[in-house]
Amino acid sequence: MLQRMRNDFPLALMTFFGVITMLGILPFAFYRFATGQELIGLLDLAIVASIFAGLAYAWVSGRTEGPALVMAVIYTSGCVLIAHVGGLAGLLWVYPTILANFLLVRRGPAVFLSVAAIGGISASDPVLADVASKSMFVATALVTSLFAYVFASRSDQQRRQLEAIAAHDPLTGAYNRRGMESELDIAMAASQRQQAPLGLLVFDLDHFKRVNDNHGHEAGDAVLVQVADLVNACTRKGDRFVRLGGEEFGLLIPAAGDPSLRLVAEKLRAAVEREVHWAGERVTISIGATWYVAGEEAADFMARADDAMYAAKRAGRNRVVVLDGLCAVGDAGDRAGAGTGQRPDPDSSPATPP
C-alpha cells in the first residue's frame, strides 16, 4: 500500500484528504447524535460514507480523476448544507474545503466548486445575517481561494517538471527505463482495448566501444545525441523513444503492424547509416523488431525485441531482424534464430565493419 502511494501521487493526495476528512468529521457526527442533532449527524455520516466509497473505488480501479471530482463535490455540497442546517459549522469548514478543491481537481472545476461554496454559504441567513458579515466572509473566502489557486498551480507545475526529469534521459532527452515502464503499460492497455497493433524496436549502435576508445567519451556522447536527434526527426508524435542504457535504445510504435513496422525499422537503419558519421567513420545500428501479443507481460514483449536485436548482431550487424514469436526474419530474406544460445557482448566482437 505504501509503495503504491509513493508511486501514485494523485492517489496518495486523495487518500490523505479522505482519511483526514473522515477522522475530522466522525467525532462531530457522534457529538451531534449525543446532543440530539440527528439530522446534522446523519448528514455528517453520509459525507463520511461517500468519501469512503470514493476512496475505495479509486484504490480498486486505479482511477483517481473521477473519484477526486466526486469527493470535491461532496466536500462542497456538505459544507453548504451544514451551513444552512447547522449554522456556523458549515462556514468554518469552507476554508479547508476550498484548499481541498484546488489540490484534488483541475483548476477549472476547483474554481467553479469554490465559487459555488462561497455563494451558497453567503446566502445562508442563519450564519451571515447582515451585509457586512456577508461581505467580510466573501472577501476572506475569495482571498483563500486565490492563495489556494496559486499554490496548487505552482505545486502541480513543479511536480510535473520533477516527473519529467525523473522519466527522461538527460543526455538525449529520450525516455529512460523508468519512463518506459509507464509508457509501455499505457500503450499495451490501449492496444488491447482498441485491438490495434503495437510495435517495438530495440536497437544498438554497432561497435560503439571503438568510438569511446579512439575518440573519448565526449565523442561517444555526441554520437548518441546525433542518433537521438535523427530518431526524433523520423518518428511520429505518438511514438515513444527510449534510451534503455548505454548505446541501446527502444522505440515504441503504436498502430504499427506488418509490413509497416519492418518499413519503419529499415528506414531508420538506413537513415542512421547515411546521416550519422564521426571522424570519417560511419555509424550503424542493429535493430530488433516485434509486435505485442495481447495478454503477454511487458517483460516478455521487451525480451522478444531484445532477442531480435541480438539476432541482428549475430547475423552481421547493420540490419533489421523481425521476430513475430515464431521465427526471426532478417532483411533480404535472411533468417536467424533469435532467443537461443549465448548472447554476445557487442563490444567483444571483432572490430570489423559490418
Catalytic residue numbers read: 247
- Residue 8: exposed, middle, or buried by beta-carbon count in 10 A (0-12, 13-18, 19+)? middle
Cα separation, 310 vs 110, whole angstroms:
52
Which residues, 6+ apart, have CB-to-CB distance to 77 below 8 Å?
none
Contact, 240 vs 256, CB < 8 A?
no
Cα separation, 72 vs 101, whole angstroms:
5
CA angle 179, 216, 266 (to 5 degrees): 50
Please, what sign has the CA dihedral across residues 299, 177, 239, 241?
negative
Cα separation, 254 vs 264, whole angstroms:
12
Phi, psi of 251 (to 5 degrees): -140, 115
DSSP-assigned letter for residue 235: S
> C-alpha cell of 353?
565493419
Beta strands in the chain (DSSP E): 198-205, 240-245, 248-254, 277-278, 281-282, 285-291, 320-323, 328-330
Q: Give me the residue label for grid cell 458579515.
A: 133
3-state secondary structure of 105: coil
Cα separation, 173 vs 22, whole angstroms:
43
Q: 125-145 burial string, b = 16+ CB within 10 Å, else e?
A: eebbeeeeebeebeeebeebb
3-state secondary structure of 255: coil
